[in-house]
């Protein structure tokens, strides 16, 4: 069985970039999902894109 993956807290700059991707609702579904999952796993506040 594979070793568990360790996740580090993103830097402030990385966190801001993730928030920009999620808030903007990036045109790339994969990019949006990766950014939102990364935010969730790292414990950053999640802000869904405007409807």
Nearest to 37 by CA among 50, 17, 20, 22: 22
Looking at residue 48, its pLDDT comes to 62
- CA-based radius of gyration for the chain: 12
Distance CA 13, CA 37 (A): 17
Kindly state the average pLDDT of the residues 38-44: 75
Q: In the predicted model, what is the mean pLDDT of the chain?
A: 78
| CA atoms of 45 and 15, how far apart (whole Å) | 10
What is the SS3 assignment for 24? helix
Integer Cα distance of 15 and 12 in angstroms: 5
Regarding pTM above 0.75, the answer is no
């Amino acid at each position: 069985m594979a070793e568990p993956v360790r996740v580090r807290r993103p830097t402030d700059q990385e966190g801001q970039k993730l928030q920009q991707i999620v808030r903007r609702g990036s045109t790339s579904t994969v990019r949006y999902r990766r950014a939102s999952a990364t935010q969730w796993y790292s414990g950053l506040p999640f802000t869904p894109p405007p409807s």
